[in-house]
Amino acid sequence: MGKILVPIDGSPNSVRGLEKAIELARKTDSSITLLHVAMLPPIHVVGHPLDKVKRSLAKKAHKFIKDAEDRCINENIQSTTKLIYGSDPPYDIEQFARKYKHDMIVIGAKGKSTLKRLFLGSVSNYLVQTTKTPVTVIK
């Protein structure tokens, strides 16, 4: 298969997505890219310099990113990790998958943004509807 993109946000559903991706990677001799999109607040809301906001977001994500990396290492799956900053995770994930030519996206059915999902639809639904990259949604 090649390259599997796994968006992670620390939620139990993103962990289930990672577990399935590890299983698929093992069966197909593929590598995994762990992707976290840190949501930047609108500039007018931020009372701190942007680099300070980014450091804070990275610090908050460090534990679950490290846990995801350790899962891959423990399963002898080649992986890379990417932390990007954005304002629209579904779009950012789609663009990342396209730019780096991933063969598949494996994503948990629901992440942390329940309120946003209620009004805008889920990240996984957006990806299934818009990306040309095959998407496997794990419930």
- Domain residue extents for the chain: 3-138
Yes or no: is domain 3-138 CATH 3.10.350.10?
Answer: no
pLDDT range class, residue 49, cuts 50, 70, 90: confident
- Tell me the pTM: 0.88
pLDDT range class, residue 109, cuts 50, 70, 90: confident
Rg of the chain in Å (alpha carbons):
15
